[in-house]
Amino acid sequence: MRTSGRWPVLFLLAMVTAASAVHAVITPITIGDFNNPIVLDFESVPLGDISGTDPAFTGFGISLVTGTGSDSDPIWGDIGPDTGRALFVREDGTGQLFISQFGAGDRPAEDSVTFSIELAESHVRFGVSLASLRIGDPTDLTFFDGPTVVGTITVTRPDASEPIFYFESDVVFDEVLIEHPVGNQILGLDNITLDQSSVPALGPLPMGGLTLLLVLLGLGALRLAGRGIPFGDR
């Protein structure tokens, strides 16, 4: 029996999908593991509302920052006393970002707080300080390369000091989503750290060469099928 001419297409799609799957390892590291670290410290950024495309971000290598969150608790909690200037989301549900600090009288979001940090270039290392986070509360960081999830890691504040977490991925990423799912808890960001030693724009994704090879083989099979030459057994 002659093989259907459609199976090269199905074979190609299945194999390219499998070869394109990303299974990265996100590893906690130290600042000493960066080649040339640069740090965005909000102490030099004016207090008050800030745009997600403010020059403080874009000049640092971040193309866009967005945030979400609200506050359903009528009892307002202030930013932690150990917190200097940091980035927060307003509690009114608008997603407005702002710079604040302890004692400023601002009202940050406390429910389902998230930050999305879109990077101007691909990276393999990232660091951030989680300001006003309670001891033991979990925060999830998900790393993306375009729409593809590279990997996820969960961290908790270990003690009373403001924690700065550093990570390394064995696959490039260009976006970091930071989520704090616990309610009634303020979360801010500070000391965002990138490695100034950039990686190639077309980073070393796993099996990238195999993916290209499969695409070429698939195109060749489609060309043969178009000429009436069967691809497979008769």
Is the CB of residue 51 less than 8 Å from the CB of residue 97? Answer: yes
Is the CB of residue 161 less than 8 Å from the CB of residue 82? Answer: yes
Q: Could you give the dihedral angle defined by the CA atoms of residues 30, 35, 41 and 44, in that order, rounded to the nearest 10 degrees?
A: 150
Structure confidence at residue 221 as a pLDDT band (50, 70, 90):
very low
pLDDT in tens, 22-59: 667 999 999 999 999 999 999 999 999 999 999 999 99
d(CA 97, CA 54): 11
Best mean pLDDT range from 6-10, 104-108, 115-119:
115-119
Give the pLDDT confidence score for residue 70 in this predicted structure.
83
What would the two tokens of residue 113 be? 């707080």
Beta strands in 30-136 (DSSP E): 37-40, 48-50, 62-70, 86-89, 97-100, 111-131
Structure confidence at residue 183 as a pLDDT band (50, 70, 90):
low
Structure confidence at residue 145 as a pLDDT band (50, 70, 90):
very high
Q: Which of 82-86, 172-176, 216-220 has the lowest mean pLDDT?
A: 216-220
Task: For helices 208-226 and 7-20, give the axis angle rounded to 10 degrees.
Answer: 170
d(CA 168, CA 36): 14
Structure confidence at residue 151 as a pLDDT band (50, 70, 90):
very high
User: Does residue 84 carry a pLDDT above 90?
Assistant: no
In 3D space, the residue among 115, 124, 130 whose CA is nearest the CA of residue 165 turns out to be 130
Q: Considering the domain 24-199, what is its CATH architecture?
A: Sandwich (2.60)
d(CA 187, CA 229): 62
